[in-house]
């Protein structure tokens, strides 16, 4: 946590109360097991549920934080590859923003829930990955059956372009999986001076990377 505290001090405009809150939340999440609910964090830390809700409503530049963590934690000679993939989060709330039919990779079918589009940097030397930016994918409920995937890919492309300046130097390849590897997405990766790696998981061979 020493590294995290030092990085939080470097972020401009972040006062002492938010720094203390974020440091406490990071420690609490690490020691908990299973699924973590934001409102239930008050059971395991010194902050009340109301304070936690108020603090999370405050804006925070997560991509800038992730970028500083990446630059601090990576080894100078690590072999790095950027990656882009989506994660499915099941939810039962009827009023949850963005809830729609999304692909659940664990169940290999579409289910109602939330989808998070994640950009990451994969360290091939240490065999690990660090998140760079996460954004919630719009549900696209009003789209036709032929449009939802195109709608999501149209969301992924600007996200990749928006955080281009945050990638470490030396990253020349960009890995993407499954339906994200469509022609317009690959062309956007090439326009950003990256080599697209689009082999699907079921056909992939570790030697290809």
User: pLDDT for 30-85, tens place per residue?
Assistant: 888 877 777 788 888 889 989 999 998 898 999 999 999 888 888 778 888 888 88
Bridge-based pairing of strands 80-90 and 109-123 is antiparallel
Question: Where are the domains positioned within the chain?
Answer: 2-57, 62-208
**Vertex 106 angle, CA 138 and 162, to 5°:** 35
Q: What is the pTM of this model?
A: 0.74
User: pLDDT for 94-142, tens place per residue?
Assistant: 777 777 777 777 777 778 888 888 888 988 888 888 889 898 887 655 4
The fold for domain 62-208 equals Transposase Inhibitor Protein From Tn5; Chain A, domain 1 (3.90.350)
Mean pLDDT of 181-189: 72
């Amino acid at each position: 946590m020493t590294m995290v505290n030092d990085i939080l001090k470097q972020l401009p405009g972040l006062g002492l109360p938010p720094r203390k809150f974020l440091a406490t939340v990071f420690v609490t999440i690490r020691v908990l097991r299973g699924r973590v609910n934001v409102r239930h964090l008050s059971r395991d830390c010194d902050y009340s549920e109301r304070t936690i809700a108020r603090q999370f409503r405050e804006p925070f530049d997560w991509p800038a934080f992730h970028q500083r963590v990446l630059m601090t934690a990576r080894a100078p000679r690590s072999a790095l590859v950027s990656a882009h993939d989506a994660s499915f989060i099941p939810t039962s709330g009827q009023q949850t923003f963005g809830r729609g039919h999304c692909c659940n990779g664990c169940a290999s079918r579409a289910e109602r829930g939330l989808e998070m589009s994640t950009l990451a940097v994969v360290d091939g030397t240490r065999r690990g990955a660090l998140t760079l930016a996460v954004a919630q994918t719009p549900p696209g409920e009003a789209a036709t059956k032929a449009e939802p995937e195109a709608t999501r890919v149209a969301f992924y492309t600007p996200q990749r372009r928006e955080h281009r300046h945050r990638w470490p130097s030396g990253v020349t390849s960009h890995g993407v999986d499954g339906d994200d590897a469509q022609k317009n997405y690959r062309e956007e990766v090439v326009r950003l001076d990256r080599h697209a790696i689009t082999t699907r998981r079921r056909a992939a061979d570790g030697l290809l990377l």
